[in-house]
């Protein structure tokens, strides 16, 4: 049996216009009076650690009905990145206040289940805020459910940006593979072969070898959510030249921030960046575009050492040409213990920089 698999598809979810997102009747309404918005249910899992939704539903507020989460295929596109899509009806349903899901972790050969109450008031406020502040732009269009090894479950709002609204822990349950995958296996050997094949088909040979050697990093997705007071800074005379920069964060969120933080933003605890993109004045005449992908573990370890007690931590970018020669180091605002103790800098050597 060949494993089923979800592929990222270019649905119109990301280009739903305001009329569709909020309903024609909402055009002239006070955003605070609008409580129904067009939305979809989508699912995702960490890259390299295939998961599968067995069943799941986002339940509309106060109801035992809602929108089903896509099921029946392996998910492995990346934490916070849509891997499946569900096109709902033409009706505009109430926003959800609860989610229930059963899912399978291929690495662990384990089924999990969870049912969580979602922060409805926070979710509604996010939709209304987007409608108020950006009336001519898209609103949030999807509820993205992330599932990971160890039973980590995250829920994001997906639209012009991606914002986490919930994180929880599912519990392990026992379920026969034939029920989990809705397939009639004739023997344990057959189900084991199916699972092994699905895993091998969903990752690269290098990823598969790593998984077999190290297993899944249970708990890392909760660790991705730790917040720190951090700010980008730039080597002298090599400032960023863009006013804003798109950032993908370790916790799956995605939105833009200024390239130069004010004190309020520096003092605001934030998730750590996974990818940052900006132009910088590398030389007097050249300001190339840099795409920086951080190594998650290297970055977290640096911050856990330098920012664990509320220190402000700075990520310093030294723009160079070619762009792959950029140097990045991390330091905090804590002064040395004495004149004989040098200030600590941690160079990030595993970051990948592309033009």
DSSP letters of 188-234? HHHHHHHHHHHHHHHS-HHHHHHHHHH---TTHHHHTT-EEEEEEEE
Are 19 and 161 within one domain? yes
| SS3 category, 106 | coil
Q: Which of 132, 151, 173 is the last residue of a domain?
A: 173
Distance separating alpha carbons of residues 12 and 15, to the nearest angstrom: 5
The number of domains in the chain is 2
Model pLDDT for residues 81-110, shown as the tens digit of each residue: 887 655 455 788 999 999 999 999 999 999
Question: In the structure encoding, which two tokens stand for residue 22, read together?
Answer: 């909020």
Phi, psi dihedrals of residue 22, rounded to the nearest 5° = -120, -10
Are 148 and 267 within one domain? no
Whether residue 23 contacts residue 38, with contact meaning beta carbons closer than 8 Å, is answered with: yes
Are 132 and 18 within one domain? yes
Question: Does any domain span residue 180?
Answer: no
Structural domain containing residue 169: 12-173
Within 10 Å of residue 354's Cβ, how many Cβ atoms? 12
Whether residue 16 contacts residue 141, with contact meaning beta carbons closer than 8 Å, is answered with: yes
Direct distance between the N- and C-terminal alpha carbons of the chain, in angstroms, rounded to an integer:
42
pLDDT of residue 340: 84
pLDDT of residue 136: 83
Strand (E) or helix (H) holding 161: none
Query: Which residue positions in the chain have pLDDT lower than 50?
Result: 6-25, 87
pLDDT of residue 91: 80
Q: How far from 57 is each of 71, 141, 151, 185, 257, CA to CA, in Å? A: 10, 16, 17, 26, 33
Question: Does any domain span residue 4?
Answer: no
Question: Does any domain span residue 232?
Answer: yes
pLDDT of residue 84: 63
Question: Does any domain span residue 112?
Answer: yes
Question: In the structure encoding, which two tokens stand for residue 208, read together?
Answer: 């598969």
Are 151 and 239 within one domain? no
Whether residue 161 contacts residue 142, with contact meaning beta carbons closer than 8 Å, is answered with: no
Question: Does any domain span residue 336?
Answer: yes
Query: What does the DSSP 8-state code read for residue 20?
Result: H
Whether residue 159 contacts residue 130, with contact meaning beta carbons closer than 8 Å, is answered with: yes
Distance separating alpha carbons of residues 169 and 177, to the nearest angstrom: 22
Are 169 and 248 within one domain? no
pLDDT of residue 82: 80
Q: Which of 173, 191, 216 is the last residue of a domain?
A: 173
Are 22 and 167 within one domain? yes
Are 169 and 228 within one domain? no
Question: Does any domain span residue 139?
Answer: yes
Are 272 and 342 within one domain? yes
pLDDT of residue 87: 47
| Alpha carbon of residue 59 to chain centroid | 22
Whether residue 239 contacts residue 274, with contact meaning beta carbons closer than 8 Å, is answered with: no
Whether residue 50 contacts residue 76, with contact meaning beta carbons closer than 8 Å, is answered with: yes
Strand (E) or helix (H) holding 128: helix 120-133
Q: SS3 letters for 54-79?
A: EEEEEEECCCCCEEECCCCCEECCCC
pLDDT of residue 88: 56
Q: How far from 116 is each of 57, 97, 165, 199, CA to CA, in Å? A: 11, 9, 12, 28
Are 129 and 231 within one domain? no
Are 261 and 161 within one domain? no
pLDDT of residue 9: 39
Strand (E) or helix (H) holding 149: none
Question: Does any domain span residue 41?
Answer: yes
Are 100 and 235 within one domain? no
Question: Does any domain span residue 192?
Answer: no
Are 86 and 232 within one domain? no
User: Which residues, in sequence order, are bridge partners of residue 346?
Assistant: 330
| SS3 category, 277 | strand
For strands 51-60 and 96-105, give the pairing. antiparallel
How many Cα atoms are found within 13 Å in the side-chain-facing hemisphere of 209? 3
Q: What is the mean pLDDT of the chain?
A: 91
């Amino acid at each position: 049996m060949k494993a089923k698999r979800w592929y990222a598809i270019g649905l119109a979810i990301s280009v739903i216009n305001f009329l569709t997102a909020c309903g024609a009747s909402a055009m002239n309404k006070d955003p605070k009076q609008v409580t129904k918005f067009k939305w979809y249910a989508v699912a995702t899992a960490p890259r390299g650690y295939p998961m599968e939704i067995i069943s799941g539903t986002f339940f509309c507020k106060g109801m035992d009905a809602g929108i089903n989460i896509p099921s029946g295929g392996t998910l492995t596109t990346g934490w916070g990145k849509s891997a499946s899509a569900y096109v709902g009806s033409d009706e505009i349903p109430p926003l959800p206040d609860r989610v229930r899901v059963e899912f399978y972790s291929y690495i662990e050969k384990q089924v999990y289940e969870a049912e969580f109450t979602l922060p409805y008031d926070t979710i509604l406020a996010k939709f209304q805020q987007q409608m108020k502040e950006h009336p001519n732009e898209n609103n949030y269009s999807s509820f993205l459910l992330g599932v990971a090894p160890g039973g980590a479950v995250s829920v994001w709002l997906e639209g012009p940006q991606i914002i986490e609204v919930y994180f929880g822990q599912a519990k392990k349950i026992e379920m026969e593979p034939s029920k989990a995958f809705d397939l009639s296996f004739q023997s344990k050997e057959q189900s084991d072969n199916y699972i092994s094949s699905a895993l091998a088909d969903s990752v690269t040979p290098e990823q598969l070898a790593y998984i077999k050697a190290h297993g899944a990093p249970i708990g890392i997705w909760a660790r991705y959510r730790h917040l720190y007071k951090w700010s980008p800074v730039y080597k002298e005379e090599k400032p960023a030249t863009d006013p804003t920069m798109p950032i993908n964060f370790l916790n799956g969120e995605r939105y833009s921030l200024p390239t130069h933080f004010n004190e309020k933003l520096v003092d605001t605890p934030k998730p750590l960046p996974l990818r940052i993109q900006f132009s910088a004045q590398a030389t007097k005449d050249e300001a190339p575009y840099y795409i920086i992908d951080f190594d998650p573990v290297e970055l977290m370890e640096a911050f856990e050492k330098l920012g664990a007690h509320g220190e402000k931590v700075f990520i310093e970018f030294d723009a160079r040409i070619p762009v792959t020669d950029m140097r990045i180091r991390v330091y905090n605002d804590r002064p040395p213990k004495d004149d004989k103790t040098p200030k600590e800098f941690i160079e990030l050597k595993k970051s990948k920089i592309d033009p």
